[in-house]
A and B are shown apart, each in its own frame.
Chain A
Amino acid sequence: MVDSMHPPAEAPRVGDVRRGPEPARPRQRRWRRRRLNRYAAAPLVLISVNLLLFVAFFVWPAVTGLVYSFTSYTGVGPAPYVGLDNYQRLLEDEAFYAALTRTLIFTAGVVPLTIVLSLGTAVLLVTDYTRGKTVARVIFFLPWLISPIIAGVIWRWLFGENFGFVNYVIISLGGEAVPWQSDANLSLFVVIIAAAWGNTAFNMLLFVAALKNVPTAYYEAASLDGAGSWDKFRNITLPAIAPTTFIVVLLSILGSMKEYALFASLNDGGPGTSNHLLVQYIFTKGFERAQVGYASAASFVLMLILMVVALVQLAMGRRKES
């Protein structure tokens, strides 16, 4: 799947190198097969570590998780089979819907903001119109180095209700203190800003790489035809970087659907439980209340949502290509 996301210019060349002259002549094909058979031990050794870890920490938990989701397992003792009870309770749980809605709102806020900011900063770092790129690049990239936990602390410090810099400025200008922490929507808003701030750097890097790969000749030809900057951006740049945009959108959606650490330190999903997202919901159920079976069921619902997102995205990407 990832292969199709690479700059198209590169893909065929790599393929050529790999296959070499292969207009299937029988002798060559036989030689090829023999070669494949001869080298089974070496690749097996080379992938052995990853294979082992893949089975132990991926396949096995996924399978047991699916099994547990049909039981009322608590982490110790027997795991009595309860059928679809966990899923049924989950679909009747208001808290689950609240978490799901909050997650969707959060995603809908963060993703567009992240895309705009990371594409914007990337363009500014690539274009010849700006001065002082070296410093700007380091500052834009700084948030990538800061963990979600610390980022949460930083924004909590900035938006503190009684002590934060933002409220201080607002009060100094004659306004009222804004309840950044005790109002559910405002506190989600702060997390959205913080998340976009934190996610920009990496996506910006992807966009910078994509922008540098757009052939200069296109812009020169467009200039000769008298196209303006905005026309060029819309009609040349955006289509050329579409594969990257696709990846950034997909990764951003998947990333924000499972955000937890930032909330944990910024407001702990508060006020109260009003900003508990899905991962925090799963975490609370599974680890604080030891309802492993129930948490597994919730995990699989989250997985289903993520898979639907990925599949819809892929389908849309394919339709656009054709």
Chain B
Amino acid sequence: MAVTTSTPRPSALRRKRPNAPGELSKRFWATSVMWLLVVAYGFPVLWFLLSSFKPAGELFSYPLTFFPDQPTIKGYTQAWTSFDVATYFVNTLIVAVSATVLTIVASAACGYALAKYNNWWVRAFTVCVLATTMLPGEVILAPLFLVVRDMGLYNSLAAVVVPAVITATGTFMFRQFFLTVPNDLLEAARIDGAGELSTFVRIMLPLSRPIMLTLAIFSFQWRWNDYIWPLVVLNDPNKFTLQIGVASIVGAQNVNWSVLLGASVLSMVPLVAIYLLFQKYVMDADINAGLKD
């Protein structure tokens, strides 16, 4: 429906003569290929989702049925109550929200400085921030763990949040944005006697609201789906995040598939909801280099 109501966007691959012979068959093939891919990409998730509504006994009983015979949400309730998914959920939410807020504040400030000040050490720091994309956390996992442990953060949610605050991607998103803001605006504020920091907070920060939203979604996704770093620094099951929790169900001797399916689907819900709400901030984001944690 949205296709027909939205204004047609001038597409790069547009043809001049839409009704020429051959166009119709091209259209047919392109659309078929696309929908074939849609099925290929969607099927694993659909099968997973439908399975999660099957009672435990039906999961493995041949012949497999596509739709659950007796739909139930027992897997979900069991996961939520007896497997601590509720605790994991809250922990993950705390981590993702606090990391996201801190990331936005730090990245906005740093990105602004990198864009609008030309001191040699600011330029040098730009290169340093870039270097962090080349050296991902996995490469310095062991020493990073020791640093965090020596700070006394081991086994606390703060240990997951704090090292994640600095991201090259976020910083550069803001830097690119502030580069496009005319310097005249900054000069005008200076002439009016505004302090540098208050110019940033009162004028520049409100301008960058779309970038904030985009980065918020990205950052939330990174933290929500993070696995290896929380696994390394969290030891107490009461502090586990969802990913570690789900992985621990998978790692058990006898995988309880009914609970595993329920827990997995539950863990996906928040991100899918956020995405559907703020789709345009993800899909229309002016993404460029380095935008991947």
Contacts and interface: CB of A to CB of B under 8 A. Distances in A.
A147 B14 contact: no
Contact of B38 (A41, A136, A302, A307): A136
A130 B139 contact: no
A148 B47 CA distance: 17
Contacts of A123: 13
A46 B113 contact: yes
A200 B40 CA distance: 12
Interface residues of B, number: 111
Contacts of A260: 138, 227-228
Interface in A154-169: 154-158, 162-163, 165, 168
A42 B34 CA distance: 51
Nearest to A142: B45
Contacts of B156: none
A143 B163 CA distance: 26
A135 B38 CA distance: 9
B216 interface: no
A209 B228 contact: no
A124 B180 CA distance: 31
A135 B35 CA distance: 10
A5 B51 CA distance: 44
Most buried by B among A62, A150, A251, A300: A150
B55 interface: no
A49 B30 contact: no
A50 B292 contact: no
Contacts of B31: 129-132
B283 to A, nearest CB: 7
A302 B291 CA distance: 22
A124 B34 contact: yes
Interface string B112-156: 111011110010010011101011101111111111100000000
B166 A157 contact: no
A61 B41 contact: no
Interface residues of A, number: 118
A149 B246 contact: yes
B44 A219 contact: no
Interface stretch (B67-75, B77-85, B267-275): B267-275
Which secondary structure dominates chain A's binding surface? Answer: helix
A251 B136 CA distance: 11
Contact of B271 (A145, A306, A307): A145
Contacts of A148: 225, 227
B141 A283 contact: yes
Contacts of A216: 10, 12, 14
A279 B44 contact: no
A89 interface: no
Contact of A258 (B110, B138, B146): B138
Interface of B: 2-3, 10-16, 18, 23, 26-27, 29-31, 33-35, 37-38, 41-42, 44-45, 47-48, 51, 59-60, 62-64, 105-107, 109-110, 112-114, 116-119, 122, 125, 128-130, 132, 134-136, 138-148, 162-163, 165-166, 171-172, 179-180, 182-183, 195-197, 200, 221, 224-225, 227-228, 232, 243, 246-247, 250-251, 257, 260-261, 264, 267-268, 271-272, 275-276, 279, 282-283, 285-292
Given A49-B165, A219-B13, A287-B145, 20 more contacts: A42-B196, A50-B129, A53-B166, A54-B125, A61-B143, A124-B33, A124-B34, A124-B37, A126-B12, A127-B11, A128-B11, A131-B27, A136-B35, A142-B272, A148-B227, A165-B64, A223-B15, A258-B139, A268-B250, A292-B142
**3 tightest A-B CB contacts, nearest first:** A147-B225, A42-B196, A65-B143
